[in-house]
Amino acid sequence: MSYSSSKNRPFEWASKSQHTHIIKDSTVIEILKRCKFPSNQEDSIDDIKKNIIDLKTGNFSDIQQIVTIDGGYTEVEVRKGYPSSRVSFFQFGALLFSLSDLLNISQKAFIHPEDMQKFNQLSRIKLAIPMKGISIDGDTLKNSIRNTLIEFFNTSIETSTFMSTLKWFLFHEYRRNIKQEIKLSSSPFDDDINKDIAIKYDDIDDKGFFNSNGRIYSLVDVFRFHEVIDNEQGSSGILGYLTNLIKHIILLHCLKTLSFSKPHKIKEFMFIKDGPLGFFGQTAGLHKDMRELCNFFIDKYDFKIAGVEKSGSFVEHATEISKGDNPPLKPGNVLLLSNNYIYKHILPGPNDPHLLEKIPVYAHTSYYSGKIIFRNESGNVYVITIPIDDYEKIRIPKEEHYRNLHSILNVLTRLKCDMYNNSLIPIALVNKLVSIANHPSSRVLEKFANSHIE
């Protein structure tokens, strides 16, 4: 690594000829010869035919309302130089749409501003978290982030809080037999070596605090962010995981509210989340609770939810198999992605068929859903995740494994948006209302933060 510049001295530029030693190295050459690219249309066409089904059109079920959840963040440097300091700003939102209104909008060649006004009623949820070189109330970075999350989860939202929703979710309060105890795998305190700390339902107070072994813990500790936050290096690594977590908490809060007030109406709602249905990083273990929740609400209330992916390897593969005049994925086709297909054509996997059969199920430690690739009659292609009750079913996925599959896809078909490639109206609208642009938002937020930080 080269030296950086300071004061009036120049950068240490890298050599422009040292790549020749890599090019001539026989070991490097042999490694490259053993590599392979992801599959193209020709490579995957036979397996596509084995896993493809046709969409049953006109099957809308009882869906009348669409709830779309999205959010984003931007990290800004509030003090440059040494030591540098960074703060992250988050903004989330859940928009409720009437399906009939969305369908009317999608059929218009030009949208009048008055038509769009009814979609702009959004209650935004904001959050600011120190990322590096900043403390709150003179505490460590790790404790500053923990305390900020505790305050955020205890903020009043109408008549409830996200903390009460988290407790409802973790202890399965939606069931008759509530869980009485769960485990906290690690302590948030540096001087506490206790593991598998018992969290008893009856010991938790209204703010999410509980006492164990003489220490006061919080329900937010189950997220385990304290395991990866470094007081010196910062905590940028949690940003994506935290964003995904809060999207889920908002979704759960909406579902809990609906189940308390009008449970019989749940079947009329469809929830759309921007991104796959799963928990990642330190929060991955929560996927088990989410799978149980989905199984319960799907069986009892015909709950419908879908995650929509907009980028990544699966989206790139979907584009590959749907391009050209005679692609293997045709309009109206639904490709159920099996574990073998994923590791044979999309992600790196063994060439030996016997070894391919033994490879663990894709994302079984983080997803509570299965992936499909869907192409609608207009030619738009989507990568969708839909809950599945047992991850082992992804080895040989079947149509009946994905409850309400055709209802969900028929709705998504009608919600196509031509503003962006393969986009959906509700996702595009909510993203427009909560996303934070790099320019000029980052610069404005930097000045805003500096005006308040002493």
Answer yes or no: are the C-beta atoms of 236 and 132 closer than 8 Å.
Answer: yes
Interatomic CA distance for residues 344 and 346, integer angstroms: 6
Non-local CB neighbours of 252 within 8 Å, separated by 6+ positions: 165, 166, 168, 169, 293
Count the residues in the chain.
Answer: 454
The pair phi, psi for residue 418, each rounded to 5°, is -95, 5
pLDDT tens readout for residues 20-35: 889 989 999 999 988 8
- Structure tokens given for 341: 């297909």
Answer yes or no: are the C-beta atoms of 401 and 346 closer than 8 Å.
Answer: no
Q: Which of 172, 160, 167, 163 is nearest to 294 (CA)?
A: 172
- Beta 160-161 vs 156-157: how paired, if at all? antiparallel
Q: Which of 204, 235, 30 is nearest to 132 (CA)?
A: 235
- Structure tokens given for 301: 């209330």
| Average pLDDT of the residues of the chain | 87
Interatomic CA distance for residues 274 and 279, integer angstroms: 13
pLDDT above 80 for 360? yes
Q: Which comes out higher in pLDDT, residue 74 or 451?
A: 74
pLDDT tens readout for residues 363-417: 999 999 999 999 998 889 999 999 999 999 999 999 999 999 999 999 998 887 7
Q: What is the pLDDT of residue 110?
A: 57
pLDDT tens readout for residues 290-306: 999 999 999 999 999 99
Comparing 189-193, 216-220, 357-361, which segment has the lowest mean pLDDT? 189-193
Q: What is the pLDDT of residue 9?
A: 66
Interatomic CA distance for residues 412 and 54, integer angstroms: 15
